[in-house]
Structure 1
Amino acid sequence: MRWNIQSTPNTQKLQHLQNELQVDTTIATLLLHRGIETYEQAKQFFRPTWHDLHNPYLMKDMDKAVARIEKAIANNENILIFGDYDVDGTTAVALVSSYLKNYYKNIATYIPDRYTEGYGVSFQGIDFAHDNDFSLIIALDCGIKSIEHVHYALQKNIDFIICDHHLPADVLPSAIAVLDPKRQDCTYPYKELCGCGIGFKLIQALAKNKKQSDIDLMPYLDLVATAIAADIVPITGENRVLAKLGLEVINSNPRPGIKALIQNLKKQYLTISDVVFIIAPRINAAGRIKHGNEAVALLTEFNINQAEIFATEIEQHNSDRKDIDKQITTEALELIQLNNEQENYTTVVYQPHWHKGVIGIVASRLIENYYRPTIVFTKSDTKLAGSARSVKGFDVYKALENCAQHLEQFGGHMYAAGMTLQEDNFLNFKHAFEQEVKKTIPEELRSPELSIDMELDFDKITPKFLRILKQFEPFGPQNMTPVFVAKNLKDTGFAKQMGKNNEHLKLFIKQPNSVGIDAIGFGLGDKINLVQNQQVFNAVFSIEENEFNGVVNLQLKIKDIQP
Structure 2
Amino acid sequence: MRWTLKPIPEPNKVKHLQETLNVSEPIATLLVQRGIETFEEAKTFFRPSLDDLHDPYLMKDMDKAVTRIEQAIANKENILVYGDYDVDGTTSVALMSTYLKTKTDNVATYIPDRYNEGYGISYQGIDFAHDNDFELIIALDCGIKAIEKVAYAKKLGIDFIICDHHRPGKEIPEAVAILDPKREDCNYPYKELCGCGVGFKLVQSLAQKDGQTIEDLLPYLDLVATAIGADIVPIDGENRVLAYFGLQIINASPRPGIRAILKQVKKDQLTITDVVFIVAPRINAAGRMKHGNFAVTLLVEEKYDLAKEYAKDIETYNYDRRETDKQVTEEALKQIEDKKEQKRFTTVVYHETWHKGVIGIVASRLTETYYRPTLVFTKSGNKLSASARSVSGFDIYNAIEACSEHIEQFGGHKYAAGLTLKEENYQAFKEAFESVVAQNIDKNLLVPEVKVDVQINLNEITPKFYRILKQFAPYGPNNMTPVFMTKGLIDTGYGKCVGDDKTHLRITVSQPDSSNFVGIGFSMGDKFDIVKERKPFKAVYSIDENEWQGNVSLQLKLRDIKV
1:498 Cα deviation after fit? 2.1
Q: Report what 1:160 is aligned to.
A: 160
Q: TM-score normalized by structure 2?
A: 0.97
AA aligned opposite 2:398? K
- Residues 34/562 of structure 1: CA separation in 2 closer, same or farther (3 Å cut): same
- Residues 411/98 of structure 1: CA separation in 2 closer, same or farther (3 Å cut): closer
Q: Report what 1:363 is aligned to.
A: 363
Residue 350 of structure 2 contacts residue 376 of structure 2 at CA under 8 Å; is this kept in 1? yes
- Residues 169/376 of structure 1: CA separation in 2 closer, same or farther (3 Å cut): closer
Q: Report what 1:150 is aligned to.
A: 150
Residue 166 of structure 2 contacts residue 411 of structure 2 at CA under 8 Å; is this kept in 1? no
Q: Secondary structure at the match of 1:270?
A: coil
Q: Secondary structure at the match of 1:263?
A: helix
The more displaced of 358-367 and 417-426 is 417-426
- Whether 2:80 is the aligned partner of 1:80: answer yes
Q: Report what 1:485 is aligned to.
A: 485
Q: Report what 1:217 is aligned to.
A: 217
The more displaced of 258-267 and 505-514 is 258-267
1:383 Cα deviation after fit? 2.8
Q: Report what 1:298 is aligned to.
A: 298
Q: Report what 2:390 is aligned to.
A: 390
1:203 Cα deviation after fit? 1.1
AA aligned opposite 1:239? N
Number of aligned residues: 563
1:62 Cα deviation after fit? 1.5
- Residues 53/398 of structure 1: CA separation in 2 closer, same or farther (3 Å cut): closer
The more displaced of 330-339 and 93-102 is 330-339
- Whether 2:192 is the aligned partner of 1:192: answer yes
Q: Report what 2:546 is aligned to.
A: 546
Aligned mates of 1:239, 1:403 — CA distance in 2: 32
Q: Within 5 Å, which residues of 2 pair with 1:125-274?
A: 125-274=125-274
Structure 2: where are the runs of 5+ without partners?
A: none
AA aligned opposite 2:388? A
Aligned mates of 2:477, 2:90 — CA distance in 1: 22
1:345 Cα deviation after fit? 2.3
Residue 167 of structure 2 contacts residue 413 of structure 2 at CA under 8 Å; is this kept in 1? no
- RMSD value, Cα: 1.6
1:395 Cα deviation after fit? 2.6
Q: Report what 2:509 is aligned to.
A: 509
Q: Secondary structure at the match of 1:398?
A: helix
Cα deviation code 1:203-254 (max 9, x no counterpart): 1111111112222111101001001111111111111111000000000000
The more displaced of 168-177 and 28-37 is 168-177
Percent sequence identity is 62
Q: Report what 1:499 is aligned to.
A: 499
Aligned mates of 1:170, 1:401 — CA distance in 2: 12
Q: Secondary structure at the match of 1:143?
A: coil
Q: Within 5 Å, which residues of 2 pair with 1:5-44?
A: 5-44=5-44
- Residues 265/419 of structure 1: CA separation in 2 closer, same or farther (3 Å cut): closer
Aligned mates of 2:50, 2:441 — CA distance in 1: 44
AA aligned opposite 1:333? L
1:284 Cα deviation after fit? 0.7
1:377 Cα deviation after fit? 1.5
1:331 Cα deviation after fit? 1.2
Q: Report what 1:556 is aligned to.
A: 556
Residue 488 of structure 1 contacts residue 512 of structure 1 at CA under 8 Å; is this kept in 2? no
AA aligned opposite 1:514? S
AA aligned opposite 1:224? V
Residue 519 of structure 2 contacts residue 555 of structure 2 at CA under 8 Å; is this kept in 1? yes
- Residues 548/310 of structure 1: CA separation in 2 closer, same or farther (3 Å cut): farther
- Residues 439/168 of structure 1: CA separation in 2 closer, same or farther (3 Å cut): closer
Q: Within 5 Å, which residues of 2 pair with 1:322-333?
A: 322-333=322-333
AA aligned opposite 1:348? V
1:308 Cα deviation after fit? 0.7
AA aligned opposite 1:418? G
1:268 Cα deviation after fit? 4.0
The more displaced of 138-147 and 428-437 is 428-437
- Whether 2:520 is the aligned partner of 1:520: answer yes
1:452 Cα deviation after fit? 0.6
Residue 166 of structure 2 contacts residue 412 of structure 2 at CA under 8 Å; is this kept in 1? no
Cα deviation code 1:279-324 (max 9, x no counterpart): 0111111111111101100000011111011111111111111111
1:121 Cα deviation after fit? 1.1
Residue 76 of structure 1 contacts residue 106 of structure 1 at CA under 8 Å; is this kept in 2? yes
Aligned mates of 1:291, 1:379 — CA distance in 2: 18
- Residues 307/8 of structure 1: CA separation in 2 closer, same or farther (3 Å cut): same
Q: Report what 2:45 is aligned to.
A: 45
Q: Secondary structure at the match of 1:489?
A: strand
1:428 Cα deviation after fit? 4.0
- Residues 220/5 of structure 1: CA separation in 2 closer, same or farther (3 Å cut): same
Aligned mates of 1:124, 1:58 — CA distance in 2: 34
- Residues 562/404 of structure 1: CA separation in 2 closer, same or farther (3 Å cut): same
Aligned mates of 2:147, 2:420 — CA distance in 1: 21
Aligned mates of 2:516, 2:346 — CA distance in 1: 43
- Residues 51/412 of structure 1: CA separation in 2 closer, same or farther (3 Å cut): closer
Cα deviation code 1:99-135 (max 9, x no counterpart): 1112311110001111111111111111111100111
Q: Secondary structure at the match of 2:81?
A: strand
Aligned mates of 2:425, 2:84 — CA distance in 1: 30
1:265 Cα deviation after fit? 3.8
AA aligned opposite 2:423? E
Residue 225 of structure 2 contacts residue 246 of structure 2 at CA under 8 Å; is this kept in 1? yes
Cα deviation code 1:145-185 (max 9, x no counterpart): 22211111111111111111112234332222111122222
- Whether 2:106 is the aligned partner of 1:106: answer yes
Aligned mates of 1:417, 1:266 — CA distance in 2: 33
Aligned mates of 2:145, 2:190 — CA distance in 1: 21
Residue 495 of structure 2 contacts residue 505 of structure 2 at CA under 8 Å; is this kept in 1? yes
Q: Report what 2:459 is aligned to.
A: 459
Q: Secondary structure at the match of 1:533?
A: helix
Residue 497 of structure 2 contacts residue 528 of structure 2 at CA under 8 Å; is this kept in 1? yes
Q: TM-score normalized by structure 1?
A: 0.97
AA aligned opposite 1:248? Q
